[in-house]
Amino acid sequence: MVEGDRTSGAASRDRSARPAADDWGASAVTTAIVDRLQPGDHVCWAFHDDEERLRTTLRFVAGGITTGEKVLCLTEDPTPEALRAVLEARGVDVTAAVARGQVRFRDARGSSPDTGVFDPVSMLDDWRRELGRARAEGYASLRAITDMAWLARPVSVTGIRRLAWYEAQANRMFADGYATVVCLYDRRLFTAGDLRGIASAHPGTAFTPGDESWRPQLRILRTDDPLGLRLVGASDLSTREALTAVLAGAAEDLPGCGAPLTVDVTGLTFADAAAVHALVRTAQTASAGLRIVGASSLMAKLIHLAGGCDTRGMTVETTADGPSPSTAREHTV
Amino acid sequence: MSPTELTTDRDGGAAPFEHLGLLYRTAADYLTGTVPFVRTALSAGDPVLVAAPKANLDLVRSALGSDARRVGFADMTVAGRNPGRILPGVLLDFADSHPERRVSIIGEPVWPGRTDIEYPACVIHEALINTVFAGRDAAILCPYDAQRLSPRALADAHRTHPVMEHLGTRRPSDAYADPLDVAAGFNQPLPAPPPETATAAYRGQASLTDVRRFVTQQAEAAGLAADRTAELTVAVNELVSNTIEHTTGGGSVAAWSERDTFVCQVEDTGHLADPLIGRLRPAGGASRGRGLVFVNHLCDLVRIHTRPGRTAIRLHVLLSASGP
């Protein structure tokens, strides 16, 4: 079964390798996947070749123009100007959208492209500014697609760890459900080992866009009433760093007024030991405690095993539907 | 805590941890060995837990009379059905919930109904108690039914307990052996899975979803209850995650039914060098091994064969029993 998925992925790669200059929409699969993204999604898009990158960008930008969202395109090579020209040549009316301020092309290297130094903290500040700016301009949501290729060059273990940290921390911002963010990772530049850690810092990863049923594996969304987070999908090793970062930052990011943070796990179809331990640790750091709602009986049992029962300020409310086999639900989402 | 720290705060001499094997033949023997042990601890104000098969629990409970209210009881055939979870789930759980006190525990992990397949895990558990509790302020008394258990089981009891008690007399056990050596002796190749067993290869974190689907489908087809299927899926997911995190290769999952048991085996190219992995309670920040603690809690038996370059972990879930 694992092999089967690989095969379909390989087939789609072969298709995308063919020049498709006059027909960027030919890959219905890629189209379908891009269109399935929602505000709050932060996806690691591990692409195989330039054509796939371009088609993904095209579809993503064109979709954003149609829905009236603010669209941000971050690239280094091709340059912002060149990418804009290519999109225009492929039939997307970016000129008009740029003219009315809806679409912006920018250097991917953040606010100081000259140094070329990766400063994760200033990059996160940069995102904060972009989100604030789009909001100030009155857009209901923001779409951003960013090519991370420039970070593959000074490749080192520390660099990759910093990059994974940055991607994981970014989820704390994106959890507010305003932006849809696609991070493009070139598989020719990043090794499989690099991508493992980087992917796990994203709640969703598109490795083989040949699977039509693909969607981000996990969605981590902030809720205001009650104050907290809603988790939808499955949380395992492939989303671990993303979830851990949001939960570890929750006490700081969601300062309640004496009310406990609420994490709604009704839509969480699977959680591994690390996810459950991260929840318990959140309960230990949140000043007013943590309330888990919608837990399956299995989830409640796992929280108990992880020491949640001994954690002051942690409450677990189970779903009324009795012993719900959470994995059975996983495949129907 | 080092042993020296502990010896200074109690009676100033004896090693703080005692691990006693108790040989009994009759109910009267059982009470002669266990009740004074309980009462001595109670009179010192120490917390006491009795974890034994239900019939023996009832025996001790009624002999203690009103004192039974001050004692914790756990049915070992449930709490300790999987011997691998007795340390984290029963013994350490109780000891850690009384951090400032000497704890006294009657723990009976070996009873005549234990199967040959379960038995090696029981001995490994008994041996590793010595390693895990070394230096802790605790006494653990393990009754063995000398009437009905095999000579081999009684011999192993002498290998895993530094002191043996029989008819009120305590003697150092000459056969007591290094606990890690005893445990390593049971690190043996597992019997081959049946022919034509359903198998799924995995590699990389993107295959976790497929692994979970495979386990769920196989378990459901075998008639495993939905809640136990979900638990087993969590357990297999932890093992597969360990492969992906800690080895450079992939692995495979095999699933089959064996009489009244559903079995999943995860094989990879790693080596579990630490025999205590999965037997210690997960401490706050430490992530290593907490997955295996979950596995021990969720399954009815965990069998491991590990050597450099290859590890096979076999998970058993009873088709009839309800969850732990």
Contacts of B216 in chain A (CB under 8 A): 327-328, 331
- pLDDT tens digit string along A179-201? 999 999 999 999 888 898 999 99
- pLDDT tens digit string along A146-191? 999 888 765 565 688 899 999 999 999 999 999 999 999 999 999 8
What pLDDT sits at residue A178?
A: 97
Confidence at A25, pLDDT banded by 50, 70, 90:
very low
Q: Report the residue of B94, B205, B233, B293 to disrupt the A interface, i.e. the one with the largest count of A CBs within 10 Å.
A: B205
Percent of chain A with pLDDT over 70: 82
* Nearest-neighbour CA in chain B from A99: distance (Å): 41
A2 and B202: CB-CB below 8 Å?
yes
Element (H, E) at B295: helix B290-298
Closest residue in B to A207 (Cα) is B206
Rounded to 5 degrees, φ, ψ at B42 are -65, -40
What pLDDT sits at residue A21?
A: 31
Q: Report the residue of A1, A196, A309 to disrupt the B interface, i.e. the one with the largest count of B CBs within 10 Å.
A: A1
Q: In order of start, what are the domains of chain A with their CATH numbers?
A: 2-206 (3.40.50.300), 218-330 (3.30.750.24)
What pLDDT sits at residue A14?
A: 33
Evaluate if residue A301 carries a pLDDT over 90: yes
What pLDDT sits at residue A15?
A: 31
What pLDDT sits at residue A110?
A: 74
Closest residue in B to A332 (Cα) is B213
Contacts of A325 in chain B (CB under 8 A): 226-227, 229-230
* Nearest-neighbour CA in chain A from B286: distance (Å): 10
User: Which of A272, A277, A323 is opposite residue B237, by nearest beta carbon?
Assistant: A272
Contacts of B278 in chain A (CB under 8 A): none
Q: Among A16-20, A203-207, A300-304, B211-215, whose mean pLDDT is lowest?
A: A16-20
- A45 touching chain B per CB within 8 A: no
DSSP per-residue letters across B94-142: HHHTSTTS-EEEEE----TT--TTTHHHHHHHHHHHHHHHTTSSEEEEE
| ipTM of the complex in this document | 0.89
Of the candidates B237, B39, B245, B315, the residue with the CA atom closest to the CA atom of residue A234: B237
What pLDDT sits at residue A285?
A: 87
Q: State the average pLDDT for chain A.
A: 84
User: Which of B210, B234, B290 is opposite residue A1, by nearest beta carbon?
Assistant: B210
- pLDDT tens digit string along A256-300? 778 899 999 999 999 999 999 999 999 988 888 999 999 999 999
Contacts of A326 in chain B (CB under 8 A): 230
Distance of CA B158 to the CA centre of its chain: 18
Q: Report the residue of B209, B229, B242, B245 to disrupt the A interface, i.e. the one with the largest count of A CBs within 10 Å.
A: B209
Contacts of B233 in chain A (CB under 8 A): 270, 327
What pLDDT sits at residue A157?
A: 58
Closest residue in B to A196 (Cα) is B205
Mean pLDDT on A216-227:
95
- pLDDT tens digit string along A84-127? 999 999 999 999 999 999 999 999 987 666 666 788 999 999 99
- A208 touching chain B per CB within 8 A: yes
Mean pLDDT on A211-240:
93
Q: Residue A248 burial (CB < 10 Å; 0-12/13-18/19+)?
A: middle
pLDDT < 70 regions, chain B: 1-15, 282-288, 321-324
Contacts of A328 in chain B (CB under 8 A): 216, 226, 229-230
What pLDDT sits at residue B112?
A: 95
Contacts of B230 in chain A (CB under 8 A): 296, 298, 325-328
Closest residue in A to B215 (Cα) is A327
Confidence at A213, pLDDT banded by 50, 70, 90:
confident
Q: In order of start, what are the domains of chain B with their CATH numbers?
A: 3-185 (3.40.50.300), 198-318 (3.30.565.10)
What pLDDT sits at residue A302?
A: 95
Evaluate if residue A8 carries a pLDDT over 60: no
What pLDDT sits at residue A246?
A: 98
Distance of CA B306 to the CA centre of its chain: 18
The 3-state DSSP class for residue A102 equals coil
Instruction: Give residue B238's identity as a one-letter amino acid code.
Output: E
User: Which of B200, B206, B282 is opposite residue A1, by nearest beta carbon?
Assistant: B200
Confidence at A210, pLDDT banded by 50, 70, 90:
low
What pLDDT sits at residue A114?
A: 65
